[in-house]
A and B are shown apart, each in its own frame.
Chain A
C-alpha cells in the first residue's frame, strides 16, 4: 500500500507555507483523507519553486522525458484538500495471475504489434433457459463463439453461462484494466424487478421481453469486449468463452459493472468536488472531455425521445388492434353485404397494421434505443478513465511536493543528527522512485487513453452508421408492407355498390 504525501497545513492566508518558508511541521499524524478542508484552495507556485522542481526532475533523465507536465514557465494550479480514498493495491498496477507477467512495457508491445491475426470472431448469445425453481432460479444462456483466430483453442466453442458469470467477468476486466486507461465496456445492468418476474415463473410478454432484452444486451457486451484488441487476449475472457465449467462468481454486487463504476465515480466525484484543476498541457484532453460531455447530453436527450417513441408506437399498436376488433363488429352488424365485407376487410388490414407497428416499435428499441443506452454507459467509462488520469496526475503532484519538502528538510538537517540524516536520505530515495513511477503511470495512461479514444471513435462511427442503415431498412420494410396491405384493400372498398 502506498502512502501518499501529506500536505502542509495552511496558514491564515490560505497559502501553502511552503511558499512562505515558514514552519514545516511534519504532520505525521494527520490523515489527508479525513482532513476537513472543503474550501478549494488555489496554490500558485512561484517561479523559483517551479524552477527548482524542474531542476530536481532533471536529475532523473528518464522521468523528464516522459513527463507531460507544463513547462516551468506556466503556473501550476493546485488545489489542496482531501485526496480520494486510497484505492486498493490491485488498482495501482494491473493485477494478473502469476503466469502472466504483464508490465506497462509489454502492454505497449502488444499494441504495437497490432494483432497479426485478422480480427475474425463472432459471438452469439442464445437459448435462454430457466434453471431451477423459485427464488433460486436463474436464466442460463448459451454462448457460442466462432473464430479463426489462433488465440482460441478451437474454431468453435459453446458454453452455458448465467448473468452473474458475465458480471464476474466484467468485474475482473474492470479491476485489471480500467485504472490504466482502457475502456472496459460496461456490463448490462442488473434488474431486480425483471429477474424476479422471471424467477416467479410469470410467463407473459413482459418477462419474455425482459429476457430478450437481456440476451441481446449480453451479446452486444461480449462482442464489444472481444473487439477490444487488449481485452481479447485476457485469459479470463478466453476462459469465459471456452471453458465449460466456470467458478461461480461471488459477490458480484461489488464486482458488477455498475459497482466498479460507482467506486471509480465516487472517487471521481470527490475529485471533482475539490475542483482539481489540472493544468492541461495537452489541449487534446480538454477538447475531448468537452466533446464527450456534449455527446453525453445529446445522447441522453435522444434516448429519452426514442423511449417516448417506442412507448407511443406500442400504444398505437394496441389501439389499432382495438379499432380492428371494433371495425369487425361494425362489419358484422352492417346489413349491406358488400359494405359488411369491406368493413371486415378493413378490420383485417388494421390487424396487420397493428403487427407492423409492434414490429417497428421493436426495431426502434432494439436497434436504436439500446445502442444509445450502450453508448451512454460507454461514455461513463470514458469519463471514468479521464478522471483516473487526473487522479494519477494529482498523485504525482503530491509526490513531487512531498519530495521537495523532504529535500528541503534534509538540507536543513545535514550536520547535526547523522541517523536522522540517513533516514531522510532513504526517504528521499524512496520518494524519488515513487515520483518516477508516478510520471511513468501518468505518461502511460495518457498514451493509453489516446489510443483507446481513437479506437472508440472509430467503433462509434461504424456502430452508428451500421445501426442507422439497419433502422432505415426496417422503416423501408414497414412502408412496403403498408403498401401491400392497402393495395389489397382498395379493390374491396371499390367493390361496394
Chain B
C-alpha cells in the first residue's frame, strides 16, 4: 500500500498513512474545517522520509479546464512549499488576503538523535528493553512524520479553498509541473537579507500599528489580534510543556512495569502473582497514557500552534492594510502640498488615486478575510475540543476498565 521507507541506520522503518492501525488522526483538514470543492481537490497521498529530506506526493483532482488531466500527482519537497508561500506574500495583488501560513520545516533531528543514541546503547540493556524502546522511538518518529504531512496538506487545502488563491498560476505550476521546480533553499546572503527585512518590517509594523484607525472594525481587530496572538503563543508553549511531562511520566511507568516483572519472576512467595499482574497492567496503561499525550498533542497543541501561525498571518494582513493606509494618508498630504505649490499636481493625483485604490481594495477583502478567519477558528476549535474531550473520555474509560478488572482478580486472590 502507501508507505514510505526510511533508510537510516540501515533499518527499514515503514512510515505510511492509514495502514489500518488505530488512528485518531485523519490526513485531511486537521485544524481547519474546509469546504472541499469538487472543482479542485488537493491532498498529500504519500510521503517518503529520506536522510535529510521529506518527499511529498501531491495529488490533485480537478475539473478545471486549465489542467491537462483530471487527476495527477507530483513530488514536492518542503522548499517548494515555502517558495509557493513566499510568492503569495510578495504578490501585491494578494495584499488584502490572509496568506495561509507556511508549513513548518520537517524536523526529525531530535527523534533521529534519540534513535542513534539507542543504537549506541544497545549493549547496555536487555533485549526486551531495547525492542520496547526502539518501538517507542519509531512510533514517535512516525507521529512527527504524520504531523508534518498534515501541516503541508493543510497549507495546500487552504490555498485550494481560497476563491482567489486557488487560481494562482504558481499554484497550478506547483500542482502540475512534474519536474523539479529547481527552487533551492535560500543561501546565507538571502537569509541575512530576510533577517534585515524582518527587522525593518517589525519596526515599521510598530509605527503603523500606532496609527489609529478610523474604522472601528479594524481598530477592534487590531487590538484583538495582538492580544490573541500573544496568548495563543503562551498557551501553545504551556501545552507543549504539559504534554512533554505527560510523556515523561508514561516512560517512568514503563520502567516500573519492567522492574515489577523482574520482581515477580524472582519472587517465590504469594506476592509474585501480584507483581506480574500489576506489571502487565502498567504495560497496558502506559500505552494508554502515551496515547492520551499523543492525542492531546494533536488536538490541542497542534491546534494552538496552527492558530499561532494563522493569527500571525492575519496580523500581517492588518499590517499591510495599515501600511497602505499610511501610504494613502501620505499621498493625500503630498497631493495637498502639490496643489498648494501647483507643482507636479497630476503626478500627485495619480499617486493618490493609486494609494486610495490599493487601500480600499485591501480593506474590502481584509474585512471578509478576517470574518472568515473567525469562522474558521471557531469551527476548528469546536471540532478539536470536542474530539479532545471524546478521546480523553474514551481513554479514561478504557483505563478504568483495565484497572477494575485487575483489581478484581487481585482482590479475589487475597
Contacts and interface: CB of A to CB of B under 8 A. Distances in A.
Nearest to A474: B403
Contacts of A306: 252, 256
A476 B400 contact: yes
Contact of A298 (B248, B259, B269, B403): B259
Contact of B260 (A302, A327, A486, A489): A302
Contacts of B269: 457, 460-461
Q: What's the interface size class on B, roughly? A: 35 or more
Given A465-B270, A476-B407, A298 B385 contact: no
B378 A476 contact: no
Given A320-B242, A461-B271, A490-B389, A479 B263 contact: no
A330 B235 contact: yes
Interface in A476-494: 476, 479-480, 482-483, 486-487, 489-490, 493-494
B340 interface: no
Interface stretch (A23-31, A154-162, A333-341): A333-341
A476 B404 contact: yes
B256 A339 contact: no
Interface stretch (B53-61, B148-156, B226-234): B226-234
Contact of B242 (A291, A319, A336, A457): A319
Contacts of A302: 256, 259-260, 263
B396 interface: yes
B259 A333 contact: no
A115 interface: no
A10 interface: no
Contacts of A330: 228, 231-232, 234-235
B234 A329 contact: yes
B271 A460 contact: yes
Interface string A449-468: 00000000100110011001
Contact of A464 (B256, B271, B400): B271
A336 B376 CA distance: 12
Contacts of A335: 224, 374
Contact of A486 (B242, B396, B410): B396
A339 B411 CA distance: 46
A325 B397 CA distance: 27
A330 B237 CA distance: 13
Contacts of B248: 312, 315-316
A309 interface: yes
A291 B269 CA distance: 11
A52 B253 CA distance: 61
B346 interface: no
Interface in A269-327: 291, 294-295, 298-299, 301-302, 305-306, 308-309, 312-313, 315-316, 319-320, 322-323, 325-327
Nearest to B278: A468
A309 B385 contact: no
Interface string B237-281: 111011011101100110110011011001111110011001001
Contacts of B399: 479
Contacts of A332: 231
Interface string B376-393: 011001100110111011
B414 interface: yes
Given A330-B235, A461-B271, A483-B397, A494 B386 contact: yes
A306 B252 CA distance: 7
Contacts of A480: 400
A333 B385 CA distance: 17
A339 B382 contact: yes
A475 B400 CA distance: 8
B406 interface: yes
Given A294-B266, A460-B271, A483-B400, A493 B386 contact: yes
A333 B221 CA distance: 11
Q: Provide the main secondary structure of the chain A interface.
A: helix
Given A496-B381, A496-B382, A323 B235 contact: yes
Given A294-B266, A333-B224, A339-B382, A490 B400 contact: no
Contact of B400 (A313, A469, A479): A479
B232 A315 contact: no
B228 A309 contact: no
B241 A305 contact: no
A327 B10 CA distance: 44
A173 interface: no
Interface centre among B227, B232, B259, B411 (most CB of A within 10 A): B259
Contacts of B281: 472
A214 to B, nearest CB: 25
Contact of A339 (B381, B393, B414): B381
A124 B399 CA distance: 34
Contacts of B390: 490
Contact of B252 (A308, A319, A469, A487): A308
Given A339-B378, A461-B270, A323 B252 contact: no
B231 A482 contact: no
B78 to A, nearest CB: 30
A461 B388 CA distance: 42
A472 B269 CA distance: 20
A316 B249 contact: yes
B259 A473 contact: no
Given A327-B235, A339-B381, A493-B389, A479 B403 contact: yes
B153 to A, nearest CB: 25
A128 B399 CA distance: 38
A435 interface: no
A299 B78 CA distance: 50
Contacts of A338: 378
B414 to A, nearest CB: 6
A486 B263 contact: no
B274 A468 contact: yes
B395 to A, nearest CB: 9
B232 A346 contact: no
Contacts of B388: 493
Contact of A336 (B274, B378, B414): B378
B266 A333 contact: no
B414 A469 contact: yes
B252 A309 contact: yes
A469 B374 CA distance: 50
Nearest to B259: A302
A431 interface: no
A198 interface: no
B238 A469 contact: no
A332 B227 CA distance: 10
A374 to B, nearest CB: 15
A315 B275 CA distance: 27
Nearest to B382: A496
A458 to B, nearest CB: 9
Interface string B201-243: 0000000000000000000000010011001101101110110
B255 A305 contact: yes
Given A342-B381, A465-B271, A483-B400, A473 B242 contact: no
Contact of A333 (B231, B260, B263, B404): B231
9 contacts: A298-B259, A302-B260, A308-B252, A342-B381, A468-B278, A469-B414, A479-B396, A480-B400, A483-B396
Given A295-B263, A302-B259, 9 more contacts: A301-B262, A312-B252, A319-B245, A330-B228, A330-B234, A333-B228, A336-B377, A461-B271, A496-B381
8 shortest interchain CB distances as A-B pairs: A316-B245, A309-B252, A496-B382, A493-B385, A302-B259, A323-B238, A479-B400, A319-B242
Interface of A: 291, 294-295, 298-299, 301-302, 305-306, 308-309, 312-313, 315-316, 319-320, 322-323, 325-327, 329-330, 332-336, 338-339, 342-343, 346, 457, 460-461, 464-465, 468-469, 472-473, 475-476, 479-480, 482-483, 486-487, 489-490, 493-494, 496-497
